[in-house]
Amino acid sequence: MKTKTKLQASGQPLSLGRRIIQFRELYLFLLPGVLLLILFNYLPLYGILIAFKDFKVKLGILGSPWSEPVLKYFNRLFSMPMFPVILRNTLILSFYSLLAGFPLPIILALLINSSPGKHYKKIVQTITYAPHFISIVIIVGMINIFFSPSTGIIVNILHKLGLMSGNLEVLMTAGAFPHLYVWSGVWQSIGWNSIIYLGALSGVDASLHEAAIVDGASKLQRVIHIDFPSILPTIVILMILNSGSIMNVGFEKVFLMQNSFNTSMSEVINTYVYKIGIKEAQYSLSAAIGLFNSVVNFIMIILVNQLSKRLDQGSLW
Q: Which residues bind other proteins (CB under 8 A)?
A: 25, 28-29, 31-33, 35-36, 39, 56-58, 80-82, 144, 148-151, 167, 171-172, 174, 259-261, 263-264, 267, 272, 275-277, 279-282, 285
To the nearest whole angstrom, how small is the minimum distance from the Cβ of residue 88 to other proteins?
15
Pick 145 or 299: Cβ nearer other proteins: 145
Pick 210 or 280: Cβ nearer other proteins: 280
Q: What is the rounded distance in angstroms from the CA atom of residue 315 to the CA atom of residue 308?
A: 6
Pick 230 or 263: Cβ nearer other proteins: 263
To the nearest whole angstrom, how small is the minimum distance from the Cβ of residue 28 to other proteins?
4
To the nearest whole angstrom, how small is the minimum distance from the Cβ of residue 134 to other proteins?
18
β-partners of residue 110 are: none
3-state secondary structure 25-40: HHHHHHHHHHHHHHHH
To the nearest whole angstrom, how small is the minimum distance from the Cβ of residue 15 to other proteins?
22
Pick 89 or 242: Cβ nearer other proteins: 89
To the nearest whole angstrom, how small is the minimum distance from the Cβ of residue 188 to other proteins?
20
Pick 45 or 57: Cβ nearer other proteins: 57
Q: What is the rounded distance in angstroms from the CA atom of residue 1 to the CA atom of residue 136?
A: 59
Pick 118 or 279: Cβ nearer other proteins: 279
To the nearest whole angstrom, how small is the minimum distance from the Cβ of residue 295 to other proteins?
22
Pick 152 or 191: Cβ nearer other proteins: 152
To the nearest whole angstrom, how small is the minimum distance from the Cβ of residue 285 to other proteins?
7
Q: What is the rounded distance in angstroms from the CA atom of residue 33 to the CA atom of residue 64?
A: 33
